[in-house]
A and B are shown apart, each in its own frame.
Chain A
């Protein structure tokens, strides 16, 4: 079945450093979403990417969808302590209605 992997599993950065998490699917995706889950909280939607090669920005966050629609990345510029949490990608396979969540990347930002 469809598998979605993320690397790295953990990342500790100093405040102000950049951070990137990568998401790779075993199958081609219709679209991909990104979520953030704070410790003890529930996932919160960040963005959805649909088109091959699409790039979207939200302030310090940059999201990319690969040309083959099998991978994606989230880049945070100049991290802040408020960026702490686990970032999940969620892929929608072609012809399905279910989002499969990636393994997640847990970000810690050291002040």
Chain B
């Protein structure tokens, strides 16, 4: 199956700093990628839809200035958590579709962010 890689897997940062998370489709081109946030033992909450070459579409309640998404190429989307605070600590995970008819979402391994 298709492979989506996320980096870093773990990141610890100080409050007030910014953190960038990368999501790459390794063996296919992804015009659309999705970013989720998952709190412990909870579901995946869709944050935004990342569209190659255009602005991301954010879900209601998600601060676009806080969570900057860039989809500069067909294989890379980045999520930058700006001026991170402890409440931003979470598991962030991306997914992408290959464009086939199955509609299957392929997920990255996720990135666990801890803000001190």
Binding site for B on A (CB under 8 A): 1, 31, 33, 35, 41-45, 48, 88, 90, 92, 97-104, 106
In the complex with contacts A42-B109, A42-B110, A31-B44 CB distance below 8 A: no
Contact B109–A48 (Cβ < 8 Å):
no
Bound complex: CA A44 to CA B43 (Å): 14
> A residues within 8 A CB of B108?
42
- Which applies to chain A's interface (DSSP): helix, strand, loop or mixed? strand
Per-position binary interface string of chain B over residues 36-50, scored 1 when its CB falls under 8 Å from any chain A CB and 0 otherwise: 100001111110010
Determine how close the nearest CB of chain A comes to the CB of B111; give it in whole angstroms.
10
A98 to B41, CA, bound (A): 22
From residue A74, how far is it (CB to closest CB) to chain B in Å? 15
B103 to chain A, nearest CB (A): 6
